[in-house]
Amino acid sequence: MTVYLNGEFVRTDDARVRADDRGFLYGDALYESIRLYCGGFFRFKEHWQRLAQGAAALKLEAPALEELRAIVGQVAAMNSASDGIVRVTLTRGPGGEGLRTFGSGPRTLLVTVRPLDAERMERAAAGFTAIVADARRSPVGLPSSIKSANRLDAILARLEADEVGADEAILLSAEGYVAEGTVSNIFWRSGDQLHTPELDIGILPGVTRMAILEVCRDLGVAVKEGRWHLGELLHAPEVFFTMSSLGPVRVVEIDSAALQVPEDALYPGIRDAYWSLVGREAATDPVVAP
């Protein structure tokens, strides 16, 4: 596998990040995962915008849109990748004294591409099992728009899910409201509409989440954003996650309790409309190696 690291395209085994890189030492870093679909990108600009906004908040230098597009296109082409996940990792780079950033840099920019895991795709098609994690969404004071490389709260929840063989874990906020999954946003049905946590709870504004809101608007499905306790989610007839890698994924079980799919399920129409949107947009943003 060929990756991009700080101006060079190298094999994975030859890529080296310095031992004093602040991303490694302190999680002083951001990342984005961008869906590569049938030879094109889905919402590349939106991912870049989130990266740039996070970089501005952390006073990091983000790559320009066209610079990053050229790098990503080259990495995808060099790996003959037409479907998969492109990951962009941006750190403050080496140096600084402890948590002080003075004298640090230059930035570290790493771009990789990987295929989607076939087994996970099969499980997603069948529907995910989930648990409600004991770990909570950490109120660390970061703006929710920052996709930080420090994901210890999600990792703790992921460990809980792995212990029982669940596909995903649902985190609550520090106040006890439904927040998000470890790598996903969450929607559920209430009556004839959908509910999803509001961004002010401290969840990541997912690119796929936004696309689902657009799809629902086009389909005439009402979506209410707000703050809800766990009980509402556990009594919902339909629940699904959204993520860049797999799109919307139905939840078939929460804490070993199976969900009974209603005859008038909203999810199939939303799923199909979402993938139609991905196909259309990816076709207009093909991978182009410089």
Residue 263, number of CB atoms within 10 A of its CB: 4
Instruction: Please tell me the total number of residues recorded for the chain in this structure.
Output: 290
The whole-number pLDDT of residue 121 equals 94
* Cα distance between residue 106 and residue 115, in whole Å: 30
Spell out the per-residue pLDDT of the chain, length 290, in tens.
999 999 999 999 999 999 999 999 999 999 999 999 999 999 999 999 999 999 999 999 999 999 999 999 999 999 999 999 999 999 999 999 889 998 898 999 999 999 999 999 999 999 999 999 999 987 666 777 789 998 899 999 999 999 999 999 999 998 999 999 999 999 999 999 999 999 999 899 999 999 999 999 999 999 999 999 999 999 999 999 999 999 999 999 999 999 988 899 999 999 999 999 999 999 999 987 66
The whole-number pLDDT of residue 141 equals 62
Ordered alpha helix ranges (H), 7-108: 22-26, 44-57, 65-78
Q: Establish how many alpha carbons lie within 13 A of residue 222's alpha carbon, considering only the half-sphere containing its beta carbon.
A: 5
Max Cα distance, the chain (Å): 61
* Cα distance between residue 9 and residue 53, in whole Å: 26
Q: Is 176 left (phi over 0), alpha (psi -120 to 50) or beta?
A: left
The whole-number pLDDT of residue 259 equals 95
Query: For the packed helices 65-78 and 44-57, what is the interaxial angle rounded to 10 degrees?
Result: 120
Cβ–Cβ under 8 Å, residues 209 and 218: no
The whole-number pLDDT of residue 146 equals 83
The whole-number pLDDT of residue 143 equals 72
Q: Would the CA dihedral through 59, 61, 66, 71 be positive or negative?
A: negative
The three-class DSSP label of residue 81 is coil
| Pick from 128, 90, 73, 135: nearest CA to 245 | 128
* Cα distance between residue 196 and residue 226, in whole Å: 7
pTM of the predicted model, to two decimals? 0.94
The whole-number pLDDT of residue 261 equals 85
* Cα distance between residue 58 and residue 133, in whole Å: 29
* Cα distance between residue 102 and residue 111, in whole Å: 26
Residue 257 structure tokens = 């309790």
Residue 73 structure tokens = 């296109």
Write down all domains in the chain, each with its CATH number in brackets.
2-115 (3.30.470.10), 121-280 (3.20.10.10)
